[in-house]
Structure 1
């Protein structure tokens, strides 16, 4: 309890002095990295250590160093990957590079990872746990590492979560905190998500009376895990009862670590069998509290592209609170959920002003007059970047980060809205990824717009057929004129063609963007197309990215995409398609 009070007290103080905390953070970043090649390119020989006041330092920083994107840092990061150990972005040598998942743009990107990255991860986890204030037992934690590899220059690469789970900070947390995961390190770092998931579930059942909450990085991962439980529960019960381990687990380190903690539990196996047989009859409704009776909540990132999984998660949760995780990116953690028991749809994130230096570009919606799809990234008019202390409630912004790890005034691409303040630090709603916009003509529909339209269509399908939407994505088909939107659905259950046609029209009518409505009425955008893909299609996409080094805990299905590989998988898997009659 004392630890919880200490860390909440710390955040209350820094959030009450957010402007001062930001000034100190900027000064600390620039002083730590004074003289690196990237900064010298813009500020020359200006001695940052000799600038006494924060106003002057901020003025030099914003007037000399331009806004940037990840592309500006790629040449430096490639040099680091190739073994250049000179101070390019940071004075401290960068020995580890994180890899983004690549699901957004179709290719993975390098992002610097330093001890500061692991320390802030541990700190935000402690802070979030203190606000939840319910931890104490074991955690059924679906967490995964991917392989760490070396570049030709000897730099360790892997996902950010992989680096964190391999860090000393994580290992110390596992040993010293009162809450810890059911699974040993070998299961987390096993690099085969199917085998790791089976063992996470098996050990979670072994400790079923002790588990106090269920968690993973993303809601998708929890849904994926319980899908596996539905298919494999009988095999797990056999392993529990006899202290054996399925032959599907063939990684020696995992087998040894799991069998070490197993002992025959025939009574527990019989008890869980009865529960699972009842759950099968009820469509696995309330799976979590029935199998883990002392579980208090489910904790995961449930906002943004994870929102479509909330329905399934609530089905499994059977009334348990769904607590949304915190707001971060591969580049930096950004905000903490200080109101954890609000519904995920209402969650905001209080910016932590000591983690990075934040700037906010004001965005104003516009209606383009060009027919080029290349205008998708210019779907907003921009104001001049402002400081954290200058943001206004209700205004939308694009986030800009300057980090301790060597990124300077880097546009993150996230659009956020200021929903309020926690003391003097803003509370943010995530709106969308700026580049992920559906556009054909003068229309601009974000990921969130697509999610709302799909929700309308899937609700109609559920009412008329009882089938379930497993996953979806969309893209703008421009190869024929007029261009049109395509939405891919993977379904569980049978739906007749008439109902699917109605769902297609329902989604088309749900887009309320002025440019889209006008263009549809004028037939400068064609009817929306719904394509039904075969079961397992989205899992093929997951398998591809994991095969290229992503971790399951990092994967997110983009709701709008231009990724040719992803689209090729879905087009080859399409079973049937329907066109809207909404504007006929």
Structure 2
């Protein structure tokens, strides 16, 4: 820690004493009371019933004394109430005690992944065999993964849409053996959002993945105290209801009733009802900076984390004013009831304000460790390169945990077990879904052959096929992954691209991984200019009447101190050259003039945030799960972006 900040050290000590002192006092008093009751318990003059009651009370009070003494030794977030303190302590201590059994269970399934898959398919077909879907597809005959591969066809969402709608309308016994708790809805990145039933059996498997994920984080970083709080940047999504009143929402959905989870979070329950992203980011950051002892900073995807940190950088002076007065700035758009509730949790803390002001005035490079000296990590799934932007500005040594791969259809399918490795990879969790793999070169076949979890090879690229806990059998989710190694005997993977986002004017099938590399290689030749985001489209979507075929690439960049007019047409043409170098079919079609040169368009600053809001308002996507579409599918979206193009020389 920086020795030039003695006030910070002093403040940490003062804040830590508060709960520590209370717990130490309770431990001392309760131990005395327990000893008095024990004396009564062993007194021969006392009535037997009284002695039994006194003994029981002594044991309970003695246990509370031990817990209090233990908490008094721990680093503690001072915003805890007694209830949240005890709930957080119970949850995390329980997890700590169960760590050996969790690790043993995880290690066993990774050492014997095929057996774990066989166990799962038998359980799934047993559960679903008597449903209408089970009878129609003769699920009782499927007793192994090999049976599944031979006897059930590959499917897409259309195969299930009618069943799911009937389930949502309240019909029983359609294709699941249990009623859904709610319905998740996908982000709709490659098309319309899909409604997926979420059942307790699926959420149980996902809970084990969450436990494994946290243990993976703790193996790579110091385990925080069970009473340190975590900041989770969350934007409450728009929801709807089925005819039977069940919630339809994105997979990540927090209710205020989720008391176990909320007890460990730095933001109070009303913060998790805010639907406006800038307001939610402001509130989560405000309560986070009030806590010197914050342990973890997390969200689902990196863009939300980046924007939350940018909000802190832009509005820290306003936040400090709020922290001084205990009142949230009136210019922050909030529902009046939510504002009143939040202000009930916000306590003025002028000493903390003074310390924060000193650090903020030094600049924001490496700010996280300076304002949260006990922060163990940041966690979010990286998309679009936002991890690099966060690390370049804010972290300065705080580990970054790119924690999982998954989706609404399956939950968390694979976990990153390697916190400090530069190359992100995920160990597949064979208890979550029966996983099959279509070799990339065969993904366009009418009935492609699949490989099983013990048949894939390192370096192989495959489209995933999933049989899930939510009743989807041999479901093609459209993701193409690469096997990059093994964890124990289980494949470790990395995400490549979505097959639904191919660019394909003739037969070339250029995936977005290739396009992304060509864009980044091109921008490297423009010194001082940084990529913000990108998307692209095929020319027939924009101009269906034209016979000319080409790609349109929309770039939002941060020019720094340069002018975009400084980028010449020759420099922009490098994108097409890089694309030809990286894709042989595209190169051949360009050489024959079947496809014309790609057209690179700069869009004005903020366009991709506007695009997100535009799509979220018109689709089932939520801000928390939104991913920029790499391929625009409608003329409406292409024209919308064309209207925001910056004309350059």
Normalised by the length of structure 1, the TM-score is 0.86
Deviations 1:28-86 (A, max 9, x none): 0110111212222222xx745xx8xx4xx4454333321100111111112223x2422
Alpha-carbon spacing, 1:290–1:505, altered in 2? closer, same or farther (3 Å): farther
Deviations 1:407-466 (A, max 9, x none): 1111111111111211221111211111111122342221211211121223223x2xx2
Which residue of the partner structure matches residue 151 of structure 2? Answer: 64
The question of 1:325 aligning with 2:403 is answered: yes
Alpha-carbon spacing, 1:5–1:60, altered in 2? closer, same or farther (3 Å): closer
Matches within 5 A, 1:269-280: 269-279=353-363
Which residue of the partner structure matches residue 102 of structure 1? Answer: 188
Task: Indicate which of 475, 482, 489 corresponds to 2:555.
Answer: 489
The question of 1:78 aligning with 2:165 is answered: yes
Cα pair 1:431 1:448 within 8 Å, conserved: yes
Alpha-carbon spacing, 1:60–1:8, altered in 2? closer, same or farther (3 Å): closer
Matches within 5 A, 1:509-524: 509-511=577-579, 512-524=582-594
Which residue of the partner structure matches residue 240 of structure 1? Answer: 323
Which residue of the partner structure matches residue 312 of structure 2? Answer: 229
| Deviation of 1:565 (Å) | 4.2
**Separation in 2, partners of 1:414, 1:291:** 39
The question of 1:28 aligning with 2:116 is answered: no
Root-mean-square deviation (Å): 2.3
Deviations 1:527-574 (A, max 9, x none): 121111122211122213433553322111122332444333312211
Cα pair 1:118 1:167 within 8 Å, conserved: no
The question of 1:87 aligning with 2:173 is answered: yes
Instruction: Flag as ranges the 4+ runs of structure 1 deviating above 6 A.
Output: none
Which residue of the partner structure matches residue 268 of structure 2? Answer: 184
Higher RCO, 1 vs 2 (CA within 8 Å, ≥6 residues apart): 1
Matches within 5 A, 1:224-373: 224-247=307-330, 248-279=332-363, 284-302=364-382, 306-315=383-392, 316-332=394-410, 333-343=412-422, 346-364=423-441
The question of 1:149 aligning with 2:149 is answered: no
Which residue of the partner structure matches residue 370 of structure 1? Answer: none
Say which SS state the counterpart of residue 389 (structure 1) adopts: coil
Which residue of the partner structure matches residue 286 of structure 2? Answer: 202
Which residue of the partner structure matches residue 613 of structure 2? Answer: 543
**Separation in 1, partners of 2:634, 2:425:** 30
**Separation in 1, partners of 2:531, 2:376:** 27
Say which SS state the counterpart of residue 39 (structure 1) adopts: helix
**Separation in 2, partners of 1:233, 1:393:** 47
Alpha-carbon spacing, 1:531–1:577, altered in 2? closer, same or farther (3 Å): farther
Matches within 5 A, 1:6-25: 6-25=101-120
Cα pair 2:413 2:429 within 8 Å, conserved: yes
**Separation in 2, partners of 1:76, 1:31:** 19
**Separation in 2, partners of 1:237, 1:469:** 32
Say which SS state the counterpart of residue 160 (structure 2) adopts: helix
| Deviation of 1:249 (Å) | 4.0
Alpha-carbon spacing, 1:561–1:190, altered in 2? closer, same or farther (3 Å): same
Task: Indicate which of 532, 555, 559 corresponds to 2:626.
Answer: 555
Task: Indicate which of 129, 137, 140 corresponds to 1:42.
Answer: 137
Which residue of the partner structure matches residue 368 of structure 1? Answer: none
- Compare 107-116 and 185-194 and name the one that shifted more: 185-194
- Compare 249-258 and 150-159 and name the one that shifted more: 249-258
The question of 1:469 aligning with 2:539 is answered: no
**Separation in 1, partners of 2:498, 2:154:** 18
**Separation in 2, partners of 1:503, 1:216:** 37
Which residue of the partner structure matches residue 524 of structure 2? Answer: 459
The question of 1:122 aligning with 2:226 is answered: no
Higher share of residues assigned strand: 1
Which residue of the partner structure matches residue 581 of structure 1? Answer: none
Q: Which runs of 5+ in 2 are unaligned?
A: 1-95
Say which SS state the counterpart of residue 449 (structure 1) adopts: helix
**Separation in 2, partners of 1:155, 1:529:** 46
| Deviation of 1:115 (Å) | 2.0
**Separation in 2, partners of 1:528, 1:310:** 28
**Separation in 2, partners of 1:417, 1:381:** 22
Normalised by the length of structure 2, the TM-score is 0.78
Say which SS state the counterpart of residue 85 (structure 1) adopts: coil
Cα pair 2:234 2:299 within 8 Å, conserved: yes
Cα pair 2:565 2:648 within 8 Å, conserved: no
**Separation in 1, partners of 2:468, 2:344:** 42
- Compare 567-576 and 413-422 and name the one that shifted more: 567-576
Cα pair 1:212 1:294 within 8 Å, conserved: yes
